[in-house]
Structure 1
Amino acid sequence: MQIKQWEDKNLSHFSYGILSDCEKKIVLVDPARNPEPYLNWAKENDAEIIAIIETHPHADFVSSHLELGKTTGATIYVHSMVGVSYPHTPFDEGTTIELGKIKLTSLHTPGHSPDSISILLEHDGKQKAVFTGDTLFIGDCGRPDLREGAGNIQSKREDLAKQMYHSLRKKLMALDDDVLVYPAHGAGSLCGKNLSKENSSTIGKEKQTNWCLQDASEEEFVKNLLTDQPFIPHYFPFDVELNRKGAPAFRESISEVMRTEKNDAPEPPKGVLI
């Protein structure tokens, strides 16, 4: 088994590939806009991409899940609450994907969004890793204030903050302490307020160091989570909808971007000193 992590430094975004060496099959988690790195990795390993999992409709970047699904024939898995119209398989609580000795199980972990999931990876019956999307970060957890006006299901930030409290404690903290934590974002992302520069951790380490997993009442947790969150960029709601519907192919999209030769560029407006 191999777990591959890709980092888009400009967006502080992590995506993942899980390869079954014996089956020569790959499952992708939260792929970035450009599908080429994933296709190249599959080719390098003489493997087939058979599944693409979206942990939720992302707000801060555009995913290539639909393009990859069309290109490779892979099945796209999302929680049914996302409300997508493209071909997919619901990946609700307890649903599994199996690749030889690898089993991936959906854990419904609302809090960042109503439709957020985490993905537990077991190998040969033992818990090995969890892909936490925007639910649990290293040193932080996902902000709950991005779905008040976006997505198939819209929720107030206070309600999502309460759900986050229970998702962390009932689903993720219940995992074995040595389970590796692989989040969708790191330091610099606007999807949380205190993300670490580390790109992975363990459940046990996060229990010791992550403020979100310390002893606190629901009321205390909600107050702390809602305080001092960063600004919300205007494009975030647009991206949620675009990812929910599925974006056009990457190269097709960039070919439509207008390019202007330097000599043909319009004169900049003249300023007025006041």
Structure 2
Amino acid sequence: MPYTGKVTVGGPAEVHELADLMISKVAVGPMDNNAYLLRCRTTGEQLLIDAANDPETLLQLIGDDGIGAVVTTHRHGDHWQALADVVKATGARTYAGRYDAEGIPVPTDVPLDDGDTIEFGACSLTARHLVGHTPGSIALIYDDPHGHPHLFTGDCLFPGGVGNTFGNAENFATLLRDVETKLFGELPDETWVYPGHGNDTSLGAERPHLHEWRARGW
């Protein structure tokens, strides 16, 4: 089946197969969070982005091969409800943005700064620090050597806009600036975007609307 990026809580995962990487996307409740399991096709090493909830679902997705790392995109509780259970079951190292680590109740083994890399098998992710939704939110970039980049944005970028800044105009301006400069300013339109909730998109689909987002203020 072709990958669509459309998943539902209680439904099956969708798998995006790249030359060197397999990306499995699953939705977990109760806030329809997305979790992403990344598997290096060369070594079989796996990494999970956002142990959001439903640890049984996530551990079944991970399977017997386990995971070496769990990356939490930001401190909001709906993105780490299953983190303690997943870490206990797998022994995975934990990663999160340096300025959000204190808000995550499971200790962060490796705090991430802007530009840091996470290696798993023959694959790597680059962290980009995006301020506004939370102080330490991170996006993760997989720069596919055989194609376009793949971008995991947590709650900082969705189809139709940037993440919620809860009516704070300064936070909105900061988040929009970081998203424009660090994501839209550095990555091509073909970049595939995997958000923390809902359907996937691309930078090309969203780029024409940046001025609309700035004008509406959210």
TM, length-normalised to structure 2? 0.80
**2:81 matched to which residue of 1?**
63
TM superposition outliers: structure 1 runs of 4+ over 4 Å: 59-62
**Structure 2 residue 194 is the aligned partner of structure 1 residue 182:** yes
Counterpart CA distance in 2 for 1:33 and 1:13 is 8
Map 1:10-159 onto structure 2 (within 5 A): 10-43=30-63, 46-60=64-78, 62-84=80-102, 86-124=107-145, 127-145=148-166, 157-159=168-170
C-alpha offsets along residues 136-161 of structure 1, whole Å, 9 cap, x if unaligned? 00112111128xxxxxxxxxx22211
CA distance in 2 between counterparts of 1:128 and 1:99 reads 17
The alpha-carbon distance between structure 1 residues 20 and 135, as it changes in their structure 2 partners (threshold 3 A), is same
1:92-128 deviations in Å (ceiling 9; x for gaps): 1111112344210100011211111100012337542
* Within-5 A mapping of 1:221-260: 221=214, 224-226=216-218
Structure with higher strand content: 2
Q: 3-state SS of the aligned residue for 1:6?
A: strand
Residue 9 of structure 1: CA displacement?
Answer: 6.1
Corresponding position of 1:205 = 205
Tell me, in whole angstroms, the C-alpha distance in 1 between the residues paired with 2:202 and 2:25. 16
Deviations 1:189-218 (A, max 9, x none): xxxxxxxxxx1111111113xx3x2377xx
The alignment status of 1:6 with 2:6, answered yes or no, reads no
Contact kept, 8 Å, 1:16 with 1:29, in 2: the verdict is: yes
CA positional deviation for 1:171: 0.9
- The alignment covers a number of residue pairs equal to 194
Deviation at 1:37, TM superposition (A): 2.1
Q: Distance in 2 between matches of 1:22 and 1:159?
A: 44
CA distance in structure 1 between the aligned counterparts of 2:53 and 2:138, rounded to whole angstroms: 20
Distance 1:93 1:134, change over 3 A: same
Structure 2 unmatched ranges of 5 or more: 1-20
- Contact 1:52–1:74 (8 Å) recurs in 2: yes
Report 1 or 2 for greater relative contact order, CA contacts < 8 Å, sequence distance ≥ 6. 1
Alignment-mate amino acid for residue 224 of structure 1 = R
- Report which of the two structures shows the higher radius of gyration computed on alpha carbons: 1
Per the alignment, residue 232 of structure 1 pairs with none
TM-score normalised according to structure 1 size: 0.65
| Deviation string, structure 1 residues 216-236 (Cα, Å, up to 9, x no partner) | 7xxxx2x6235xxxxxxxxxx
Matches of 1:24 and 1:11 in 2, distance apart?
30
Determine helix, strand or coil for the equivalent of 1:81. coil
**Alpha carbon RMSD of aligned pairs, Å?**
2.2
Unaligned segments of structure 1, at least 5 residues: 147-156, 187-198, 227-274
The percent of aligned pairs where both chains have the same amino acid is 29
The one-letter code of the counterpart of 1:7 is: A
